[in-house]
A and B are shown apart, each in its own frame.
Chain A
Amino acid sequence: MALSEYIVMRELNHPDINQFAVYRRLGGWDAYATALRERTPAAVVQLVREAGLRGRGGAGFPTGVKWGFLPKGVFPRYLLCNCDESEPGTFNNHQIIDRNPHQLIEGVALSAYAIESNTAYIYMRGEFAAAALTLERAIAEAYQAGFLGRNILGTGYDLDIYVHRGAGAYICGEETALMESLEGKIGQPRLKPPFPAVAGLYGKPTIINNVETLANVPRIVERGVAWYRSYGTEKSPGTKCFSLSGHVNRPGNYELPFGVPLRELIESPEYGGGMRGGRKVKIIIPGGASAPWLTAKHLDVPLDYEGVAAAGSMLGSGAVIVLDETVKAPHVAYKMDEFFKHESCGKCTPCREGTHWLVKVLHRMADEGHGEAGDIETLHGIYRQMAGNCFCLLGESAVMPIKSALQLFPEEFETIIETSSRQHGRGKHVIPLL
C-alpha cells in the first residue's frame, strides 16, 4: 500500500521539488517562517516531542526528548546534522539531499531555532561530494530568500548553516567522533559523559540528529501532531525511508509507515518486487550492518522499533539487506566484519584486535576454505571477548554478524572444517618470520 502523501520522499508526489521555487510553491519554508514569527523555540520542541518523532540515525531515540537535555541558559549551542551515512546497506540520506534538499535545510533551520542555536553544521561523509554541492547550492538559495543569515525575516534570529565534508571514516557517524572530526581531529569517539547535549562541539551544548530525522521536522510543524501520528504506530509514529538492497528485484528507498510487515517491503511489486530469480530468502539484515540477522521465518515481523526488537534484532537505520540462498553465512559474516575491521578507529583494544582476529579466521575459512578444529570455539570466544567491552558501538556492532552467523548457520562453519584438507597448511597469508 503506497503512501498517497509522502512525508520525506516528496519527490514521488512532486518530481520537481528539488527546485527552490517549486518547494516554495508547495508551502516550503512557511512552517519555518511561521514558527519564527509565532512560535517560541520551546513550543517547537514541544510539538516535536508530542509528534513522537524518533531519531532515524539508529537508536530511535525520541528527538524532542533529546532536545530537552540541553542545559538551560548555556550558549552558544550547536546543531549538527549527521549525514555520515556509511553503514553497508544504508543509502537514504544522500538521496533525500539529492531529491528533496530544501526540506532538509528547512528542517535543520527549524530545529536550530527550536534549540536556540545560531550555527548548524551538516556533516557529510567525504564521499558525498556531489550531494554536498547540491546542498550548498540549496543553502545559498535559502540565504538569498532571507531564510538564513542575520535578523531573519526581521525576527532578530540569526542562523548560519554550513556543509562540512568528512574524508572517509565510518566512525565519524558516531556522534562524538563526528564532533572530533568537525574540530579537525582524527575521528575517534569521546568518553561519555559528558554527553553532547552538555558538552559537544567545541565543548558547547550540542544536538546531533540524522538527516532523515530533521527532514521530518518541517512537516510536523506544518501539518501538526495529529496528522503526523496518523502514520505509523503508537510507539513508532510517522514513516520511515527503508533502504532496501541485496538480492531483491527492485532495490531502492521506500518510504512506508512504521509497522508494515517486512514481507510487504520485500515482496510487494511496488517495492522490492520479490527475490531475483525467484530464489529463497536466506538472510535478512533489517537495520544496517550492526543489526542481528533475521531469516525467512521473520518475514511477517512488523517494521517498527518494537516489532523488530521483539524478533531479536533492531530496526537501526532501517537499511534492509536481503540475501538469497546463493550466499554462505560464513562469507557474509566475513564481508561484514571486514567492513568493521576496516573502519575500526583503533582506540580501544577489543574492537581493534577483535575485528582483526575475526577477519583473519573468517577469511581463512570463508574465502580460502580452510577450517581447523577449534575454529568455531575461537570465533565464539573472540566475539564474546568483544561484546560489551568496547569503547563505542562500532565494536559492539562488529559482534553481530559473526554471532548471528554462528547462531543461525552453525552447520556451514562445521562443513568448512570437515571438508577442509589439512594439507593446505595455514592459508596463504603466512608471513615469513624473518
Chain B
Amino acid sequence: MPDVTITVDGRTFSVPAGTNVVDAARMGDVAIPVFCYHPRMQPVGMCRMCLVQIGTPKLDPATRQPVRGDDGRPVIVMMPKLQTGCTTPVSEGMVINTVSDEVKFAQKGVLEFLLTSHPLDCPVCDKGGECPLQNLTMQWGPGKSRFDYNDKVHFEKPVPLGDLILLDRERCILCSRCVRFQDELAGDPVLGFDNRGRNWMIISKSDPPFDSKFSGNTTDICPVGALTSADFRFKARVWEVNSKPAVCTLCSVGCNLSLDMRHEQLMRVMPRENGAVNDIWICDKGRFAHRFIEHESRLTTPLIRKGDQLVEATWEEALALVAEKLAALQSSRSGSAIAGLASPRLSNEDLYAFQRLFREQLLSNNLDHTIGSPADGDYDDLGALLGVGKGTNLMGLGAGTTVLLVGADPEEEAPLYVLRLRAMAQRGARLIVANLRPTKLEQAAGLGLRYRVGGELAFARAILRELLTRMSSDRLTVKQNGLDQLRKQLLALKPEELAEAAGVDQAQVAAVATALLDAEHGIIMYGSEARSAGPALVETLGAIAVLSGKVGRANSGLIPLLPGGNQRGALDMGVRPDARPGYALLAQRGLSARELWGAVRTGTVRAVWIAGLDPAATLPAAREALANAEFLVVQDLFLTETARLADVVLPAASVAERDGTYTNAERRVQRSRAARMPHGQSRPDWQIIQGVAQLLGELTVVPARGSTDTAKGVQSAKSRRESTVAVSSEPIRWDYLTVGELAAEIAERVPTYAGVTYDALAATGKPGDWGRQVNEAVFYDGTNYENTEGVGLALPALVESGRATVNLAPRPALASGDDRPLLLLVQPLAYGGDPLLRGSLLERQIPRPYVAISQTDAEKLNIRSGDRIRLDSAAGELLSVARVVADLPAGLVMAPADLPGQDLAAVQTGTRTRVSLVKIVT
C-alpha cells in the first residue's frame, strides 16, 4: 500500500493508505478513544466514541488538484458533521482534529450516554482495574452524570451464557464486540441480540449455550465487565496479580499465555500476544484447563513401594533406589532390558536429558514418547523434513497463499488454527479443506471436499498425478530421489479412476492442483484422520508439496497437527527408538512403545521408566505388562493408573513451575517460564532425570563415550562410598545448574537447534514485525496482552539445510484383509479424556463414552441415539452407546480418543480398525 500524508492535531506524518483514522492517528501517537472498534474486526461505527473532526483538501473540479489558499497551503474543507474515525479511511492530505471543543463535547456526551445505563458497580466488578470504560471515562468522560441513578435499567445480576461465561446485562454497553468475534473470527455464530433499543441484550441460544471453543476471548475484548469468566469471577482484583509468561502445552499450537498469579496461586490464564502463534487469542482449553496445576491430587513427595503400598519417601531414598535398580539391571542384563517413555508434553530439555540418560548412561535405545497403543501413528519425520520454512508467519499471509488441509479437525486437535486459518481466508488466502466428514473449518473454506471413506490416498494421488502432468523441473527446488518411480507408478493410474476411488470430482482435483501451483505460498496441513491412513498418505502429501514447489522456504511446506503439546520436540530430541536428536537414524534401533509391552511380558525388558504418560489407563496390554514388570519408575503430576503400579513414583513439577522450551507444530521453539514454586516437593523433570543420572555416574563404571561395552562392578548404595569407581576419561556431564544450561547444550549439539539461545528466543522483534509487543492503551485498553518474554524462534525445515534428500518413491497403500463393513476412526477431542482437564470447568464437558455412527448406517441397523451397541473387530469387542450423527458418511464410525471408561484398545488393530456393529437388545 502506498503511504498517504495526514495531519493529526497539527502534526503531519505518513501512514499506509487505507488505514482508518483511529489506527492512523495511533501511528502518530494520538489516541482516539474507541469502544466498538477492535483492530482485529471489521469496524462498525456503532458506539460513536471515536468521533473526530475530519477535513480533506478542496479539489479543483477540473484538474483534480488541491486548491491552494493565499498562504500557498491546500484549502481544507472540514466535513459538516463529526465522523467516526474507526470507519473512515485516511486519504492524502486529510486533516484530523481530535481535541477541538466539538470533539470533546461529543466524546463526553457519548460517555455520559453510555454511563446512563451502566450500573457503576466497579467495586464489585471483575473488570475493575483493567476496564476500558473506567479508563476512558477518566480520560475523556464528563466529571459527573446528570442522569438520575434511579432511572437506570436493572437486571438480574449475572446470568450464565454457558458453563464458562457469565453475562451481566446491566454492564453491557452493546458494542457487539463479542457477537462479532463469534461471527467473524471464531465462526461460531452463537451470540446474538434480543430485543432492540435500550432493551437490546446479548443472548446465546445455541445448544448447549455459548457453544464455542473460543468463548473466553470475549471476556478479554469486552470493554466493560459484562462478560466475565466463571473461572476468574470474584477471585482477585486484577492489580493484585502478577503475569508470568508461559506456553500452553495442551496442543501443538503452543499459544503464549500469561499465568496471572497472586503469590503462589493461579488466578487466571490470559493470552499473551504472539503474532506468529496465537495473535491475542487462546482457546478455552488453554484458558480454563490449567487448573490441574493446583489440583489437590497432585503428588507432593516421592513414593516407594513397600509390599502393596506406596509409601512416602525422601528424594534421596527414591533416587538412590531407582539408580541402584537400573544400574544393577544394566550391568547384569545390558541396557536393552531397560526402556523409557516420556510424554510429548515435556519440555525439550526434559526430553533431551531423558534420551541422554538412556542412550549415554543406560545404553538403551528403548525410548519412545507414546504409549504404544495400536492407534499411535508413525513418527512424523516428514513434517520436520518439509515442515514450514524458517520465517513462516501465518499472520502475514492472505491473498497469494493456498492452504490445503487434509484429514484434520483443527477445532478439536489444535483449536487456535481455526482462528488463524479463518483469518487467513478472510485476508484472501485460498483455504481448501478435505476430509472424510464435515468439520467446522469447512464453512470458512473456499473449497470443501469430502473424499470417500478409505478414499484419501486416491484423493492425494489424484492431486499428485495432476501435478505430475503439469510438471515443471524448476519447481523441484529440493534434493530428491524416486521421482521416476513415482512418475511411472502414478501416471499408470487413470485420473478418472483415481477420482472415482477418491469420491471427488476430477475438476475439483484439478482445481486443488491449480490453487497450489498458482499460489505464491502453499501450506499443507494434516491431522489425526490423515495420519491414521498410514504413512503412504502423508508421504503423498509431502510429494504434493515438493512437486508444487511449496517446500524449503518461508510460508510453505507441511504443518502436521500432532497430539501432545511438544511431540515435535520429542521427535527433534530423539525420544524414539530409531534416531538420535536431530533425526540422526541409528544403525541399531531399540524397542518402540508398541513393541515394548510384549517385551516386558516376556521379560526381555525388565525395567520401565515412564515420565508423564499413563499407558495403564487406556491400554490393557500395558497394564498387564507393567503389573508384572520387575521395576517401574513413574514420574508424573498425579498418581495415575500407571503410577499405582510403580515401584517408585517421582513427583514432577508442572509446566507452570519450571522453565523450559517447547517446539510447536510449525517448529517454532518458545520459552515458558516458571510462574510459581514447584508443588510440594515436586521437581522439574530434567532435575529428576539428572538426579538419577548423577547417582548412576557414581555407581557404574562408565564406559567410554561411544563404546557399547557393558558396565561392570556395580556397587550397592550402602557400600558405594568405599568402592572404587572407575571414572571415564571423558566424564558425561550431569551438572546442569539450570535448565538454561541444558538448553544451551541443545543449541550446541542438536542440528537445526543451532542458534536457539535464550537471547534469541526472547527477541520480540521490531514493532510492526508481528503485531504489537507492548500493551496498547487504545485498542485493548485494559486487557494486558503484553509479551516481554519473546516470540520464540522458528526452526528451518530440514530440507532448507540442503543436505536432506526427499524420497518420492511411493509406498504401497496399507492393505486390509479385513472385510468387516465399518471403518472405526478415533477422534481426538479437545475436551476428551485429557487428565489435565481435571479440576477445571471443562471437566463437565467431557462426554460420556459413545460411538458416533452415520444416519444411513443407523437406519440400516435400526439404531437410534442412546442405543447400546457392540463393536467387533479382529482384536476384540467393545460395548458402547450409539450417537447418530446426521452428516457422518456411511461406512464410518467414530469414537472419541481417550474417553475414560471406553476401552478402545480392546478393538483396535491399528490406526484404523475395521469393525462390525450390532445393537444390543436387552
Touch between chains A and B, by CB atoms below 8 Å:
yes
Q: Is A345 engaged at the interface, CB distance under 8 Å to the other chain?
A: yes
CB–CB B148/A354 < 8 A:
no
CA distance A174 to B109 in the complex (A): 25
- The stretch of B195-203, B455-463, B574-582 that contacts the partner chain: B195-203
List, in ascending order, chain B residues with CB within 8 A of A360's CB.
148, 151
CB–CB A349/B114 < 8 A:
yes
- Give a binary string over B175-196; 1 marks a CB under 8 Å from any A CB, 0 the rest: 0000000000000000001011
List, in ascending order, chain A residues with CB within 8 A of B199's CB.
346
CB–CB A186/B45 < 8 A:
no
List, in ascending order, chain A residues with CB within 8 A of B151's CB.
357, 360, 429, 431
CA distance A250 to B48 in the complex (A): 44
- Counting chain B CB atoms within 10 Å of each CB, which of A191, A360, A381, A386 scores highest? A191
Partner pick for A350 among B105, B109, B173, CB 8 A cutoff: B109
What residue in chain B is nearest A388 (Cβ atoms)? B81
Contacts A385-B106, A430-B150 hold; do A391 and B48 have CB atoms under 8 A apart? yes
CB–CB B106/A389 < 8 A:
yes
List, in ascending order, chain B residues with CB within 8 A of A429's CB.
150-151
> How many whole Å from B239's CB to the nearest CB in chain A?
28
Number of A residues near B (Cβ < 8 Å) is: 35
> How many whole Å from A385's CB to the nearest CB in chain B?
3
List, in ascending order, chain B residues with CB within 8 A of A347's CB.
46, 174
> How many whole Å from A168's CB to the nearest CB in chain B?
10
Partner pick for B48 among A343, A384, A389, CB 8 A cutoff: A389
> How many whole Å from A388's CB to the nearest CB in chain B?
4
> How many whole Å from A203's CB to the nearest CB in chain B?
14
Q: Is B154 engaged at the interface, CB distance under 8 Å to the other chain?
A: yes
CA distance A385 to B106 in the complex (A): 6
CB–CB B110/A381 < 8 A:
no
Contacts A349-B47, A350-B113, A357-B147 hold; do A344 and B196 have CB atoms under 8 A apart? yes
CB–CB A385/B196 < 8 A:
no
What residue in chain B is nearest A375 (Cβ atoms)? B146
Q: Is A9 engaged at the interface, CB distance under 8 Å to the other chain?
A: no
CB–CB B109/A391 < 8 A:
no
CA distance A357 to B152 in the complex (A): 10
What residue in chain B is nearest A340 (Cβ atoms)? B197
Q: Is A65 engaged at the interface, CB distance under 8 Å to the other chain?
A: no
List, in ascending order, chain A residues with CB within 8 A of B150's CB.
426, 429-431, 433
Contacts A388-B81, A431-B154 hold; do A348 and B47 have CB atoms under 8 A apart? yes
CA distance A385 to B49 in the complex (A): 12
CB–CB A385/B147 < 8 A:
no
CA distance A360 to B173 in the complex (A): 19
List which B96-116 residues lie within 8 A (CB) of chain A: 105-106, 109-110, 112-114, 116
Q: Is B447 engaged at the interface, CB distance under 8 Å to the other chain?
A: no
CA distance A374 to B47 in the complex (A): 27
Q: Is A169 engaged at the interface, CB distance under 8 Å to the other chain?
A: yes
CA distance A389 to B44 in the complex (A): 14
- Give a binary string over A387-417; 1 marks a CB under 8 Å from any B CB, 0 the rest: 0111100000000000000000000000000
Partner pick for B196 among A186, A348, A381, A388, CB 8 A cutoff: A186
CB–CB B146/A381 < 8 A:
yes
CB–CB B198/A169 < 8 A:
no
List, in ascending order, chain B residues with CB within 8 A of A431's CB.
150-152, 154
CA distance A186 to B174 in the complex (A): 15
What residue in chain B is nearest A385 (Cβ atoms)? B109
CA distance A350 to B46 in the complex (A): 9
Partner pick for B197 among A344, A350, A426, A433, CB 8 A cutoff: A344
CB–CB B197/A357 < 8 A:
no
Contacts A191-B87, A385-B105, A431-B151 hold; do A346 and B197 have CB atoms under 8 A apart? yes
What residue in chain B is nearest A342 (Cβ atoms)? B197
Q: Is B51 engaged at the interface, CB distance under 8 Å to the other chain?
A: yes
CB–CB B146/A378 < 8 A:
yes
Q: Is A356 engaged at the interface, CB distance under 8 Å to the other chain?
A: yes
CB–CB B146/A353 < 8 A:
no
CB–CB A346/B44 < 8 A:
no
Q: Is B82 engaged at the interface, CB distance under 8 Å to the other chain?
A: yes
Q: Is B700 engaged at the interface, CB distance under 8 Å to the other chain?
A: no
CB–CB B146/A341 < 8 A:
no
- Counting chain A CB atoms within 10 Å of each CB, which of B113, B152, B195 scores highest? B113
Q: Is A229 engaged at the interface, CB distance under 8 Å to the other chain?
A: no
> How many whole Å from B827's CB to the nearest CB in chain A?
34
List which B136-168 residues lie within 8 A (CB) of chain A: 146-148, 150-152, 154
What residue in chain B is nearest A343 (Cβ atoms)? B197
CB–CB B47/A356 < 8 A:
no
Q: Is A352 engaged at the interface, CB distance under 8 Å to the other chain?
A: yes
CA distance A344 to B196 in the complex (A): 7
> How many whole Å from A253's CB to the nearest CB in chain B?
30
List which B196-214 residues lie within 8 A (CB) of chain A: 196-200
CB–CB A391/B110 < 8 A:
no
CB–CB A352/B51 < 8 A:
no
Contacts A191-B45, A378-B146 hold; do A352 and B109 have CB atoms under 8 A apart? no
CB–CB B146/A354 < 8 A:
no
List which B549-588 residues lie within 8 A (CB) of chain A: none
> How many whole Å from A391's CB to the nearest CB in chain B?
6
> How many whole Å from B826's CB to the nearest CB in chain A?
40
CA distance A5 to B200 in the complex (A): 49
What residue in chain B is nearest A378 (Cβ atoms)? B146
List which B30-74 residues lie within 8 A (CB) of chain A: 43-49, 51
CA distance A430 to B154 in the complex (A): 12
> How many whole Å from A29's CB to the nearest CB in chain B?
41
Contacts A389-B106, A431-B154 hold; do A352 and B200 have CB atoms under 8 A apart? yes
List which A175-202 residues lie within 8 A (CB) of chain B: 186, 191
CB–CB B154/A346 < 8 A:
no
CB–CB B44/A191 < 8 A:
yes
CB–CB A353/B46 < 8 A:
no
CB–CB B196/A345 < 8 A:
yes
List, in ascending order, chain B residues with CB within 8 A of A389's CB.
48, 51, 81-82, 106, 109-110
Contacts A191-B44, A426-B148, A431-B150 hold; do A346 and B110 have CB atoms under 8 A apart? no
List which A190-226 residues lie within 8 A (CB) of chain B: 191
> How many whole Å from A238's CB to the nearest CB in chain B?
30
List, in ascending order, chain B residues with CB within 8 A of A348's CB.
45-48
Contacts A344-B196, A426-B150 hold; do A391 and B113 have CB atoms under 8 A apart? no
CA distance A335 to B106 in the complex (A): 26
Q: Is B540 engaged at the interface, CB distance under 8 Å to the other chain?
A: no
CA distance A381 to B113 in the complex (A): 11
CB–CB B110/A349 < 8 A:
yes
Q: Is B117 engaged at the interface, CB distance under 8 Å to the other chain?
A: yes
What residue in chain A is nearest B195 (Cβ atoms)? A346
- Counting chain A CB atoms within 10 Å of each CB, which of B48, B106, B117 scores highest? B48
What residue in chain A is nearest B86 (Cβ atoms)? A191
List, in ascending order, chain A residues with CB within 8 A of B45's CB.
191, 348, 391
List, in ascending order, chain B residues with CB within 8 A of A350's CB.
48, 109-110, 113
CA distance A191 to B37 in the complex (A): 13
CA distance A169 to B173 in the complex (A): 22
Contacts A191-B87, A357-B116, A389-B48 hold; do A352 and B198 have CB atoms under 8 A apart? yes
CA distance A121 to B608 in the complex (A): 75
List, in ascending order, chain B residues with CB within 8 A of A354's CB.
113
CB–CB B196/A390 < 8 A:
no
> How many whole Å from B114's CB to the nearest CB in chain A?
6
Contacts A346-B174, A391-B45, A431-B151 hold; do A356 and B116 have CB atoms under 8 A apart? yes
CA distance A116 to B116 in the complex (A): 49
CB–CB B106/A349 < 8 A:
no
- Counting chain B CB atoms within 10 Å of each CB, which of A346, A353, A356, A388 scores highest? A353
Q: Can you list 5 A-B pairs, Cβ within 8 angstroms, ordered by A?
A: A341-B197, A346-B193, A353-B117, A381-B109, A433-B150
With A353-B117, A389-B51 known, 4 other A-B pairs at CB within 8 A are A191-B44, A345-B196, A346-B193, A352-B174
Chain B residues within 8 Å of A, Cβ to Cβ: 43-49, 51, 81-82, 87, 105-106, 109-110, 112-114, 116-117, 146-148, 150-152, 154, 173-174, 193, 195-200
Q: Which are the 8 A-B pairs with shortest beta-carbon distances?
A: A385-B109, A346-B200, A353-B113, A344-B197, A388-B81, A356-B198, A346-B197, A346-B196
